[in-house]
Amino acid sequence: MTTFHKWKSINKFSDAFVKAQKFGVQKFVYRGKNKLHGTNAGIHFENGVAYPMKRTDFITVENDNCGFAKFVSELKGSLHGTDMIIYGEWAGPGVQKSDAVTQIPQKSFFVFSIYDVENDVTVFEPSTLRDIMKSIFGDNLKAQNIYILPWHTEEIEIDFSKQDSCQEFIDGVMKEVDNKISEQDPYIKETFDVEGPGEGMVMYGISGQQFDGTALPHGIVLDYMFKAKTESHSVQKTKNRNHVAPERPEGIDDFIFMFYTEQRFEQMLDQIGGEATREKTGQFMKAVMSDVHKESQEEIAVANFEWKDVPKYAAPIVKTWWFKKCDALG
Protein backbone atom coordinates (compact mmCIF):
# COMPACT_ATOMS: atom_id res chain seq x y z
CA MET A 1 0.00 0.00 0.00
CA THR A 2 1.21 3.47 -0.80
CA THR A 3 2.09 6.04 1.87
CA PHE A 4 -0.83 8.05 3.25
CA HIS A 5 -0.49 11.84 2.99
CA LYS A 6 -3.11 13.64 5.07
CA TRP A 7 -4.50 16.94 3.80
CA LYS A 8 -2.90 19.64 5.95
CA SER A 9 -4.82 21.11 8.87
CA ILE A 10 -6.09 24.63 8.31
CA ASN A 11 -6.30 26.88 11.35
CA LYS A 12 -7.42 30.46 11.86
CA PHE A 13 -6.05 33.85 10.85
CA SER A 14 -4.71 34.67 14.31
CA ASP A 15 -2.44 31.61 14.05
CA ALA A 16 -1.07 32.91 10.74
CA PHE A 17 -0.55 36.34 12.31
CA VAL A 18 1.46 34.92 15.23
CA LYS A 19 3.55 32.80 12.85
CA ALA A 20 4.30 35.86 10.72
CA GLN A 21 5.49 37.85 13.75
CA LYS A 22 7.70 34.97 14.86
CA PHE A 23 9.38 34.42 11.49
CA GLY A 24 9.58 38.00 10.24
CA VAL A 25 7.07 37.71 7.40
CA GLN A 26 5.92 41.08 6.06
CA LYS A 27 4.19 41.32 2.69
CA PHE A 28 1.78 38.48 1.93
CA VAL A 29 -0.80 37.77 -0.76
CA TYR A 30 -3.98 35.76 -0.17
CA ARG A 31 -6.76 34.53 -2.42
CA GLY A 32 -9.97 32.80 -1.32
CA LYS A 33 -12.11 29.85 -2.41
CA ASN A 34 -15.52 28.81 -1.14
CA LYS A 35 -15.50 26.18 1.60
CA LEU A 36 -18.13 23.50 1.05
CA HIS A 37 -19.86 21.55 3.81
CA GLY A 38 -19.04 17.95 2.97
CA THR A 39 -16.31 15.51 3.97
CA ASN A 40 -12.63 15.78 3.13
CA ALA A 41 -11.67 13.33 0.38
CA GLY A 42 -8.77 12.49 -1.88
CA ILE A 43 -7.50 10.20 -4.62
CA HIS A 44 -3.89 9.11 -4.43
CA PHE A 45 -2.67 7.99 -7.85
CA GLU A 46 0.45 5.85 -7.78
CA ASN A 47 1.68 3.71 -10.68
CA GLY A 48 -1.72 3.92 -12.34
CA VAL A 49 -3.65 2.76 -9.24
CA ALA A 50 -6.24 5.02 -7.58
CA TYR A 51 -6.38 4.86 -3.78
CA PRO A 52 -9.45 6.68 -2.34
CA MET A 53 -8.94 8.58 0.90
CA LYS A 54 -10.83 10.23 3.72
CA ARG A 55 -9.18 12.79 6.00
CA THR A 56 -7.44 10.27 8.23
CA ASP A 57 -6.84 7.13 6.15
CA PHE A 58 -7.37 5.21 2.94
CA ILE A 59 -10.85 3.77 2.39
CA THR A 60 -12.34 0.94 0.36
CA VAL A 61 -15.74 0.13 -1.09
CA GLU A 62 -16.21 -2.27 1.85
CA ASN A 63 -15.14 0.37 4.40
CA ASP A 64 -16.38 3.50 2.70
CA ASN A 65 -16.90 7.14 3.65
CA CYS A 66 -20.27 8.37 2.36
CA GLY A 67 -19.80 6.42 -0.87
CA PHE A 68 -16.58 8.12 -2.00
CA ALA A 69 -14.60 4.90 -2.50
CA LYS A 70 -17.40 3.50 -4.65
CA PHE A 71 -17.41 6.74 -6.65
CA VAL A 72 -13.65 6.44 -7.27
CA SER A 73 -13.97 2.79 -8.28
CA GLU A 74 -16.42 3.79 -11.04
CA LEU A 75 -14.42 6.72 -12.45
CA LYS A 76 -13.19 6.41 -16.02
CA GLY A 77 -9.65 7.74 -16.20
CA SER A 78 -6.03 6.77 -16.52
CA LEU A 79 -2.76 7.97 -15.08
CA HIS A 80 0.42 5.91 -15.33
CA GLY A 81 3.70 6.31 -13.50
CA THR A 82 2.71 9.48 -11.64
CA ASP A 83 2.60 9.93 -7.88
CA MET A 84 0.02 12.61 -7.09
CA ILE A 85 -2.89 13.23 -4.75
CA ILE A 86 -6.10 14.97 -5.76
CA TYR A 87 -7.67 16.66 -2.74
CA GLY A 88 -11.24 17.89 -2.58
CA GLU A 89 -14.55 17.93 -0.80
CA TRP A 90 -17.02 15.08 -1.29
CA ALA A 91 -20.39 16.74 -0.88
CA GLY A 92 -24.03 16.47 -1.78
CA PRO A 93 -27.20 14.69 -0.63
CA GLY A 94 -26.67 12.57 2.46
CA VAL A 95 -23.10 13.67 3.22
CA GLN A 96 -24.09 16.49 5.60
CA LYS A 97 -27.39 17.93 6.79
CA SER A 98 -27.22 21.65 6.03
CA ASP A 99 -26.11 24.23 3.45
CA ALA A 100 -26.93 24.61 -0.22
CA VAL A 101 -24.48 21.92 -1.36
CA THR A 102 -26.52 19.22 0.39
CA GLN A 103 -29.39 19.97 -2.02
CA ILE A 104 -27.52 19.49 -5.31
CA PRO A 105 -28.75 16.61 -7.53
CA GLN A 106 -25.96 14.11 -6.81
CA LYS A 107 -22.93 13.66 -4.60
CA SER A 108 -19.95 15.24 -6.32
CA PHE A 109 -16.21 15.65 -5.90
CA PHE A 110 -15.10 19.30 -5.66
CA VAL A 111 -11.35 19.52 -6.27
CA PHE A 112 -9.43 22.31 -4.55
CA SER A 113 -5.82 21.09 -4.70
CA ILE A 114 -3.41 18.58 -6.23
CA TYR A 115 -0.18 17.52 -4.56
CA ASP A 116 2.73 16.36 -6.71
CA VAL A 117 4.35 13.94 -4.27
CA GLU A 118 7.56 13.38 -6.22
CA ASN A 119 8.35 17.09 -6.56
CA ASP A 120 6.72 18.18 -3.27
CA VAL A 121 4.62 20.84 -5.00
CA THR A 122 1.00 21.74 -4.24
CA VAL A 123 -1.20 23.28 -6.93
CA PHE A 124 -4.22 25.48 -6.12
CA GLU A 125 -4.70 27.42 -9.37
CA PRO A 126 -8.10 26.34 -10.82
CA SER A 127 -7.02 26.51 -14.46
CA THR A 128 -4.03 24.24 -13.77
CA LEU A 129 -6.18 21.87 -11.72
CA ARG A 130 -8.68 21.68 -14.57
CA ASP A 131 -5.97 20.87 -17.11
CA ILE A 132 -4.59 18.08 -14.93
CA MET A 133 -8.02 16.63 -14.19
CA LYS A 134 -8.99 16.67 -17.87
CA SER A 135 -5.77 14.88 -18.76
CA ILE A 136 -6.86 12.08 -16.41
CA PHE A 137 -10.63 11.95 -16.74
CA GLY A 138 -11.35 13.58 -20.11
CA ASP A 139 -12.91 16.88 -21.07
CA ASN A 140 -16.38 16.31 -19.61
CA LEU A 141 -15.61 16.32 -15.89
CA LYS A 142 -19.18 17.22 -14.92
CA ALA A 143 -20.45 14.03 -16.52
CA GLN A 144 -18.48 12.16 -13.83
CA ASN A 145 -19.60 14.58 -11.09
CA ILE A 146 -16.19 16.21 -10.79
CA TYR A 147 -15.92 19.98 -10.32
CA ILE A 148 -12.98 22.35 -9.90
CA LEU A 149 -13.50 24.95 -7.19
CA PRO A 150 -12.82 28.39 -8.67
CA TRP A 151 -11.37 31.41 -6.93
CA HIS A 152 -13.99 33.39 -5.03
CA THR A 153 -11.84 36.47 -4.40
CA GLU A 154 -9.16 38.38 -6.22
CA GLU A 155 -5.63 38.50 -4.80
CA ILE A 156 -5.41 40.57 -1.60
CA GLU A 157 -2.08 41.86 -0.28
CA ILE A 158 -1.57 42.53 3.42
CA ASP A 159 1.33 43.70 5.54
CA PHE A 160 1.77 41.35 8.50
CA SER A 161 4.03 43.90 10.20
CA LYS A 162 1.10 46.34 10.53
CA GLN A 163 -1.80 45.24 12.71
CA ASP A 164 -4.18 47.78 11.14
CA SER A 165 -3.51 46.23 7.71
CA CYS A 166 -4.26 42.79 9.13
CA GLN A 167 -7.40 44.05 10.86
CA GLU A 168 -8.71 45.63 7.67
CA PHE A 169 -8.04 42.39 5.82
CA ILE A 170 -9.78 40.05 8.27
CA ASP A 171 -12.69 42.51 8.62
CA GLY A 172 -13.21 42.22 4.87
CA VAL A 173 -12.96 38.44 4.87
CA MET A 174 -15.46 38.03 7.71
CA LYS A 175 -17.83 40.57 6.14
CA GLU A 176 -17.92 38.45 2.99
CA VAL A 177 -18.48 35.28 5.02
CA ASP A 178 -21.05 36.60 7.48
CA ASN A 179 -23.02 38.98 5.24
CA LYS A 180 -22.99 37.06 1.95
CA ILE A 181 -21.88 33.43 2.07
CA SER A 182 -23.89 32.72 5.23
CA GLU A 183 -27.00 33.75 3.29
CA GLN A 184 -26.23 32.36 -0.16
CA ASP A 185 -23.45 30.09 -1.37
CA PRO A 186 -22.51 31.92 -4.60
CA TYR A 187 -20.68 28.99 -6.17
CA ILE A 188 -23.48 26.46 -5.61
CA LYS A 189 -26.07 28.99 -6.79
CA GLU A 190 -24.15 29.71 -10.00
CA THR A 191 -23.22 26.08 -10.73
CA PHE A 192 -26.42 24.23 -9.75
CA ASP A 193 -29.02 27.03 -9.35
CA VAL A 194 -29.55 25.80 -5.79
CA GLU A 195 -30.16 28.39 -3.09
CA GLY A 196 -28.99 28.18 0.50
CA PRO A 197 -26.12 29.13 2.82
CA GLY A 198 -22.48 28.21 2.45
CA GLU A 199 -19.88 27.21 5.04
CA GLY A 200 -17.29 29.94 4.55
CA MET A 201 -14.00 30.47 2.77
CA VAL A 202 -10.48 29.08 2.74
CA MET A 203 -7.84 31.76 2.16
CA TYR A 204 -4.84 30.35 0.30
CA GLY A 205 -1.37 31.84 0.50
CA ILE A 206 -0.23 32.89 -2.97
CA SER A 207 3.12 34.52 -2.17
CA GLY A 208 4.96 36.19 0.66
CA GLN A 209 8.20 37.87 1.62
CA GLN A 210 10.22 38.54 4.73
CA PHE A 211 11.35 41.95 6.01
CA ASP A 212 14.57 41.75 4.01
CA GLY A 213 12.60 41.18 0.79
CA THR A 214 13.42 37.47 0.56
CA ALA A 215 10.59 35.54 -1.07
CA LEU A 216 9.07 32.77 1.03
CA PRO A 217 9.49 29.25 -0.40
CA HIS A 218 6.36 27.63 -1.83
CA GLY A 219 6.08 25.13 1.01
CA ILE A 220 6.29 27.84 3.68
CA VAL A 221 3.62 29.98 2.00
CA LEU A 222 1.18 27.08 2.36
CA ASP A 223 1.57 27.19 6.15
CA TYR A 224 -0.24 30.55 6.24
CA MET A 225 -3.47 29.21 4.77
CA PHE A 226 -6.50 29.76 7.02
CA LYS A 227 -10.24 29.15 7.09
CA ALA A 228 -13.04 31.59 7.86
CA LYS A 229 -16.35 29.89 8.63
CA THR A 230 -19.85 31.26 9.08
CA GLU A 231 -20.94 31.54 12.69
CA SER A 232 -23.18 28.46 12.43
CA HIS A 233 -20.18 26.35 11.31
CA SER A 234 -17.50 27.81 13.57
CA VAL A 235 -15.95 25.24 15.92
CA GLN A 236 -14.67 28.02 18.18
CA LYS A 237 -16.67 30.65 20.04
CA THR A 238 -15.00 34.04 20.29
CA LYS A 239 -15.87 37.42 21.73
CA ASN A 240 -14.71 39.02 18.49
CA ARG A 241 -14.87 36.96 15.29
CA ASN A 242 -12.58 39.45 13.53
CA HIS A 243 -9.67 39.24 15.97
CA VAL A 244 -6.14 39.45 14.62
CA ALA A 245 -4.10 38.35 17.65
CA PRO A 246 -5.11 35.28 19.71
CA GLU A 247 -7.85 35.89 22.27
CA ARG A 248 -6.80 35.38 25.88
CA PRO A 249 -9.12 33.01 27.78
CA GLU A 250 -10.20 34.42 31.14
CA GLY A 251 -9.75 30.99 32.70
CA ILE A 252 -10.27 27.29 32.01
CA ASP A 253 -14.08 27.67 31.99
CA ASP A 254 -13.79 30.38 29.34
CA PHE A 255 -11.34 28.24 27.37
CA ILE A 256 -13.76 25.28 27.41
CA PHE A 257 -16.59 27.58 26.28
CA MET A 258 -14.41 28.77 23.40
CA PHE A 259 -13.15 25.43 22.09
CA TYR A 260 -15.43 22.60 23.22
CA THR A 261 -18.39 23.37 21.00
CA GLU A 262 -21.27 21.48 19.44
CA GLN A 263 -19.84 22.17 15.99
CA ARG A 264 -16.46 20.69 16.93
CA PHE A 265 -18.07 17.59 18.43
CA GLU A 266 -20.12 17.04 15.26
CA GLN A 267 -17.02 17.53 13.12
CA MET A 268 -15.05 14.97 15.12
CA LEU A 269 -17.98 12.54 14.96
CA ASP A 270 -17.88 12.83 11.18
CA GLN A 271 -14.10 12.36 11.20
CA ILE A 272 -14.27 9.05 13.08
CA GLY A 273 -16.98 7.64 10.84
CA GLY A 274 -20.26 9.38 11.62
CA GLU A 275 -21.70 6.72 13.92
CA ALA A 276 -21.85 7.28 17.69
CA THR A 277 -21.43 4.04 19.65
CA ARG A 278 -20.07 3.54 23.14
CA GLU A 279 -17.33 1.32 21.72
CA LYS A 280 -15.92 4.42 19.99
CA THR A 281 -15.82 6.54 23.16
CA GLY A 282 -12.03 6.44 23.47
CA GLN A 283 -11.56 7.20 19.78
CA PHE A 284 -13.92 10.19 19.97
CA MET A 285 -12.33 11.57 23.14
CA LYS A 286 -8.87 11.33 21.61
CA ALA A 287 -10.03 13.03 18.41
CA VAL A 288 -11.63 15.96 20.26
CA MET A 289 -8.72 16.49 22.66
CA SER A 290 -6.17 16.29 19.84
CA ASP A 291 -8.14 18.73 17.69
CA VAL A 292 -8.49 21.30 20.47
CA HIS A 293 -4.84 20.94 21.46
CA LYS A 294 -3.77 21.54 17.86
CA GLU A 295 -5.99 24.60 17.34
CA SER A 296 -5.48 26.27 20.73
CA GLN A 297 -1.69 26.53 20.86
CA GLU A 298 -1.63 30.31 20.63
CA GLU A 299 -4.52 30.81 23.07
CA ILE A 300 -2.85 28.53 25.62
CA ALA A 301 0.37 30.51 25.19
CA VAL A 302 -1.34 33.71 26.42
CA ALA A 303 -3.54 32.02 29.06
CA ASN A 304 -2.83 31.91 32.80
CA PHE A 305 -2.92 28.09 32.80
CA GLU A 306 -1.27 25.25 30.90
CA TRP A 307 -2.70 22.62 28.56
CA LYS A 308 -2.13 19.90 31.17
CA ASP A 309 -4.76 21.64 33.32
CA VAL A 310 -7.49 21.38 30.67
CA PRO A 311 -8.39 17.67 30.16
CA LYS A 312 -9.74 16.97 33.65
CA TYR A 313 -12.25 19.83 33.23
CA ALA A 314 -13.05 19.22 29.59
CA ALA A 315 -13.38 15.41 29.61
CA PRO A 316 -16.72 15.29 31.51
CA ILE A 317 -18.26 17.76 29.05
CA VAL A 318 -17.06 15.79 26.05
CA LYS A 319 -18.25 12.49 27.54
CA THR A 320 -21.68 13.89 28.41
CA TRP A 321 -22.23 15.09 24.84
CA TRP A 322 -20.96 11.79 23.43
CA PHE A 323 -23.12 9.53 25.57
CA LYS A 324 -26.22 11.61 24.78
CA LYS A 325 -25.39 11.24 21.08
CA CYS A 326 -24.90 7.47 21.52
CA ASP A 327 -28.25 7.15 23.29
CA ALA A 328 -30.01 9.29 20.66
CA LEU A 329 -28.65 7.18 17.80
CA GLY A 330 -28.83 3.86 19.61
State pLDDT tens for residues 59-106. Answer: 999 999 999 999 999 998 766 657 899 999 999 999 988 899 999 999
Q: Cβ–Cβ contacts within 10 Å for residue 261, how many?
A: 17
- The DSSP H or E segment spanning 220 is helix 218-222
Tens digits of per-residue pLDDT, 251-271? Answer: 999 999 999 998 899 888 888
| Residues 77, 107: Cα–Cα separation, whole Å | 19
Pair 154, 168: CB distance under 8 Å: no
In three-state secondary structure terms, 19 is helix
Q: How far apart are CA 226 and CA 295, in angstroms?
A: 12
Residues 39-148: name the CATH superfamily: DNA ligase/mRNA capping enzyme (3.30.470.30)
List of residues 6+ apart from 323 with CB closer than 8 A: 278, 281
pTM listed for this prediction: 0.84
The pLDDT of residue 167 is 95
Confidence of residue 233 (pLDDT cuts 50, 70, 90): confident
Q: How far apart are the first and last CA of the chain?
A: 35
Beta bridge partners of 202: 33, 227
Strand 121-123, strand 39-46: pairing: unpaired
pLDDT at position 254: 92
Residue 282 burial by Cβ neighbours in a 10 Å radius (0-12, 13-18, 19+): exposed
